Copies of this chain bind each other. A is one copy, B any other.
Amino acid sequence: MIEIPARRGKAVQVKKGQKVKVINTRGQQVVDTWVFNTADLREFMSMDHSRVAIGRIIPGIGDALVTNKRRPILTLVEDTSGGIHDTLFAACDRWRYEALGCAGYHDNCTDNLAAGLAALGLEPPETPAPLNLFMNIPVIDGNRVEVRPPVSTPGSYVTLRAEMDCIVAFSACPQDLVPINGLDMRPTEAHFELLD
């Protein structure tokens, strides 16, 4: 079991066929997730291509998320979290926290992606729109989007199967100014496990 520390990023090499189980340890923590083709980091999991492929804005069990070359890279195979995730919102970044009135540096998912990959000696070619696991952004009346606390519970998890050799990067989202990580607005750690 590997920790994604509170407010931090972590990345891991995953072989085709291996599974990653992502555990919402405390229950209300959003985990931004990115996946890059190990052989070419410029090919990565893409939310705007995946929505076309799966015909939904929220992946369900059996759905294969695809890359910007429309190849399956990650399949959702298990989900005990309530099935609410987000594909619509960009990763938070320094500009987001500046806009929220934050003076000085604030941890953010964009920098966490870079740090997670840097620990493997890698650099992201850009910050793709992430799969925001456990994040609850309903589309109301077919248009309006709203930030709501996760519906997940402590210890609930999703399991994702790699469809190619890939680098999976996570960020335990450090957002503490809006209730994206629960009404307490207190970012926590999460965990993941590699399964063969």
Contact = CB atoms under 8 A, between A and B. Distances in A.
Contacts of A71: 95
A127 B126 CA distance: 12
A146 B52 CA distance: 9
Given A46-B90, A95-B69, A139-B139, A51 B145 contact: yes
- SS class of chain A's interface: helix, strand, loop or mixed? loop
Contact of A52 (B96, B127, B139, B142): B96
Copies in the complex: 2
Interface string A57-76: 11000000000111100000
A48 B90 CA distance: 5
A144 B54 CA distance: 9
B143 A56 contact: yes
Contact of A142 (B89, B93, B139): B139
Given A52-B90, A90-B49, A57 B95 contact: no
Nearest to A55: B145
A41 interface: no
Given A48-B90, A55-B144, A70-B95, 15 more contacts: A47-B48, A51-B89, A51-B90, A52-B96, A56-B144, A56-B145, A57-B143, A58-B143, A68-B90, A70-B99, A88-B88, A129-B129, A139-B139, A139-B142, A139-B143
Interface of A: 46-49, 51-52, 55-58, 68-71, 88-90, 93, 95-96, 99, 126-127, 129, 138-140, 142-146
